[in-house]
Structure formats: C-alpha cells, structure tokens
Amino acid sequence: MKRLVTNLVLLASAIVSLPSVAQTPLSLRSAIDTALLRNLDIRIARNNLEILRQENTFGMAGGMPVVTATASDVLSENNNWQKTNDQSESSVTGTGENALSLGVNAGITLFSGLKVVATRERLNLLESRGEIALNQQIQTVVAGVMLSYYDIIRQQNYLKIIRQSLEVSEQKYAIAEVRKNIGMADAVEYLQAATDLNSARQQVVLQETMISQSVNTLRNLINIGASTFVLTDTIAVGVMSEPDSVMASLKKNLQYLSADTDVSVSTMLVKENRAGRYPSLRLNAGYDIYNNSFSKGALRITRNYGPYAGIALQIPVFSGFVQHTRVKTAEIGLLNARLEKDVVLNNLTESALNLLASYQSSVRLIGEQRSNLAMTARLVDVVLKKYHLNEATILDVKAAQSSYEQAAYQLINLIYAAKSAEIGLRQLTNSLTF
C-alpha cells in the first residue's frame, strides 16, 4: 500500500517522464535530423526546386541567340518538254537532279517590349517560390515529427496512469477477496472488484496498441522502416512571445511569403502579355551553301554559297483581340493573387489567435492541475485505507480512483495542448527551432 501511494505521488510530480519499452534511444533532435534526410516529401520538394533552378536561365527567358544548322539532300528524276515562240519543240527525259543544301542560321531578339526582362524576373520569382515551398515542407515535416514524438510521450503517460490504476484495482481486489472470505463482503462487492481489475488489465493492452500505432506514425514520418526505439526527451513547454509580437511576425510565415511571391509572379505575367502589344526586332544571320547537279542538259552544276544578315521588324496590328484578352486575363489573375494573399493573412491571423488562446489557457491551468493530481493521489490513499478498515465502500474507492485518472489525463492533455499550440505558433511565425 505504501509503495502504491508513493508511485501515485511521483506520477503527480513527473507526469511526462515515462521511458518506453523499445530498445534504441531516439532523441527529438535525432528524429528530426533523420526525417530531414529521409522524408520523401522533402526530397520531392528538393527535386521541384531543382527543376525551377534548371529552368531559370536567360535562354529560357528568350534572351539568348538561337543557332540552328540545316542540311538536306534531295534526289529527283525529271522529264522536261519545252515549246518556243517559233513553234520548235525540245524534250529531255530522265534528267537526274541532286539538290544539296547546307546552312547555319543564328537569330537573336533585340527588342520585344521588355518581354525577356519580365520573363527572366518571373523565372527568378518562381525559383524563390520553390525555395519557400521547400522550407515550408521542411517546417511541416519538423512540426509533424515534433507533434508525433510528443504524442507518443503522451500515450506512454496514459499507459503509466492505467498501470497505476491497475495497481489500485489489484489492491482493491485483494481487500475485497479477504473481506469476502471472512464474511465481511457480499458477492456483489467481490464481483465489482474483479470486474474493475479485468477492465484495468484490458485497458493496459489497448493502450499498448495505441502506443504501437503512434510509433508507426512517427516511423513513417522519419522513414526508418521497422526500427525500434525508445524516446529520450520529455515534453517541455517553452515561453512564447507577447501576443502583439506573434501577430506582427505572421508576415514571416512561409505560406504568406509564398502568396506574396505569387503576386509578384502575376505582375510579371501582366508585363509579359502587355509586351506582346509592342513591335519586336530580331537580328538574323547565317551562311548557306546550295549545290544542284544535273545528269543531262546544258547546265550540269549550279552552286550558290555565302553569308547573309538581316533585321526583321514585326509590328502587331490585329490578332482578333487575342493579345487584349491575354492581358485582361493576366490582370484578373493578378487581382486574384492579391485577394488570395489577403485570405492567407486572414486565415493565419485566425489560427494564431486560436493557438494563442489555447497556449495561454493551457499554461495557466497546468500548475493548478498538478495540485489537483497530487490531491487525488492522496485521496486514493485515504479511501483505500478506509476501505481496508471497512469505513468506506468499494464505490468510494472506485470514485476516488476515477477522480485520480481524470486528473492525470487532464494534466497530460494540458501539457500536450500547450506544447502543440507552441509548435503551431512557432510554425506560423517561421521561428520553429529544435
């Protein structure tokens, strides 16, 4: 009895320090580091960023020269008939002809209404957005690992509570059995104690299953296969900044930064489409070789070769309002991007306010709940002693036991809620550290 009460009091003072039954130690930092190396979503985000980096070149923007080489060799057989003004006729049949042409052409856009400049800037912005997306995915994975890690600790503490309650049920059953054997208790009291004991044992098995499922969730996040591990960290609630500071930091949020970049990308798209209204100037130069040989006739070989250069000016006059429609569509897209940016900020503000309320209320109640847990632990001790002396009923013991369990669960949930809110707030303000 004394050992049981000591265990209950210790649980009240160290509710989140339960070790696991697995084998390999795993700290929170190790779990996060492993996830950053192995998480598949992060690897996909890195690959997407690499695609954007590869596409972000002056050539993709249309500003580099384009050089092409052409070659063709055409064989033909022709039949030729001619009639002149003096009515004389001539004909040649089966004339073989071999037309060989070679050429190299280079062209570069000199001016296109600043479209190249706008396109290059858009590619820069897309790469920046890719970097933001990668960082956002990293933050999401880190937050997910932290929440999963701390959830396992919470589930393990649930198991500790259930095992402590099992010890109480065993004590209660032992007392009821003795009382029944000496005729001081009826069958109802004994059966109630036996039922409570069996129920507590079942709860242990169910909670162990819940822990196993939570471990599988963490294992999937950090991608470590079927490895077994024991958690070495506990839940320590950090101190958050003042509410005004948190709200002011929302514009550092990666989702908001991504929305802000989308506005800039849409602005560049408007400029690109407006550039289509202006004339474009292109320089072309090259070198061609043309050789034509004949098997019959007076002309047997003709050959042309040499360089050329020229400037082409293209002035858009009318395109069926296509360019006008493209500009209007891009402007509407820009308006939507600005509205979506405002929506993101509104949603972030709502989430931050809710998380702040959860964090502040949970932190405020944790101290009080520790005291409640200590009192319910002492209550179980007192009621068990009175039950042993036949001064309390088995229902009194069960009620005290239930109060203890509820107080312990509530304390664990408050600690986890405070930590979850802290993680959420740090993720919202782009200040998540580990």
How far, in Å, CA of 245 to CA of 429, rounded? Answer: 10
Q: Is residue 366 part of a domain?
A: yes
Q: Is residue 225 part of a domain?
A: yes
| CATH code for the domain in which residue 153 is found | 1.20.1600.10
DSSP sequence for 198-255: HHHHHHHHHHHHHHHHHHHHHHHHHT-TT---EE-------PPPPHHHHHHGGGG-HH
The amino acid sitting at 161 is: I
pLDDT band for 413, please (50, 70, 90 cuts).
Answer: very high
Q: Is residue 343 part of a domain?
A: yes
pLDDT band for 297, please (50, 70, 90 cuts).
Answer: low
Q: What is the pLDDT of residue 301?
A: 83
pLDDT higher than threshold 50 for residue 422: yes
Q: Is residue 136 part of a domain?
A: yes
Mean of all residue pLDDT scores within the chain: 87
pLDDT higher than threshold 60 for residue 155: yes
How many independent structural domains does the chain possess? Answer: 1
pLDDT higher than threshold 50 for residue 406: yes
Q: Are 206 and 213 in contact (CB under 8 A)?
A: no
Q: What is the pLDDT of residue 298?
A: 67
DSSP sequence for 48-93: HHHHHHHH-STTTTT-S-EEEEEEEEEEEEEEEEEE-TTS-EEEEE
Tell me which residue range forms the domain holding 53.
Answer: 2-65+113-277+320-428
Q: Residue range 317-344: average pLDDT?
A: 93
The pLDDT tens digits of the residues spanning 236-245 come to 898 888 888 8
**Coil, helix or strand for 159?**
helix
Q: Is residue 247 part of a domain?
A: yes
Which one-letter DSSP state was computed for residue 283? Answer: E
pLDDT higher than threshold 70 for residue 159: yes
Q: Is residue 164 part of a domain?
A: yes
Residue 111's H or E segment, with its range, is strand 89-111
Q: Are 283 and 119 in contact (CB under 8 A)?
A: no
Q: Residue range 276-298: average pLDDT?
A: 85
Percent of the chain with pLDDT over 90: 50
Q: Residue range 68-82: average pLDDT?
A: 83
How far, in Å, CA of 200 to CA of 164, rounded? Answer: 10
Distance of CA 383 to the CA centre of its chain: 52
CB within 8 Å of 310: residues ≥ 6 apart: 283, 284, 285
Q: What is the pLDDT of residue 19?
A: 42
CA atoms within 13 A on the CB side of 390: 8
Residue 363's H or E segment, with its range, is helix 322-388
| Dihedral angle, C-alpha 275, 279, 284, 290, nearest 10 ° | 120
Burial class (CB in 10 A: 0-12, 13-18, 19+), 257: buried
How far, in Å, CA of 314 to CA of 311, rounded? Answer: 10
Could you tell me which residues are beta bridge partners of residue 105? 68, 286
For residue 139 the two structure tokens come to 């933050």
pTM over 0.75: yes
pLDDT higher than threshold 80 for residue 185: no
Q: Are 192 and 169 in contact (CB under 8 A)?
A: no
Q: Are 62 and 104 in contact (CB under 8 A)?
A: no
pLDDT higher than threshold 70 for residue 289: yes
Residue 228's H or E segment, with its range, is none
Q: What is the pLDDT of residue 305?
A: 87
Q: Is residue 86 part of a domain?
A: no
Which one-letter DSSP state was computed for residue 23? Answer: S
Percent of the chain with pLDDT over 70: 93
Buried b (16+ CB within 10 A) or exposed e, 283-294: eebbeeeeebeb
Kindly tell me the number of DSSP H helices and DSSP E strands found in the chain: 9, 6
pLDDT band for 300, please (50, 70, 90 cuts).
Answer: confident
Residue 98's H or E segment, with its range, is strand 89-111
Q: Is residue 238 part of a domain?
A: yes
How far, in Å, CA of 195 to CA of 287, rounded? Answer: 98
* Ranges 19-23, 138-142, 429-433, most confident: 138-142
Which one-letter DSSP state was computed for residue 316? Answer: -
Q: Are 262 and 340 in contact (CB under 8 A)?
A: yes
Per-residue CA distances from 425 to 16, 131, 160, 362 (Å): 22, 22, 29, 14
Q: What is the pLDDT of residue 127?
A: 93
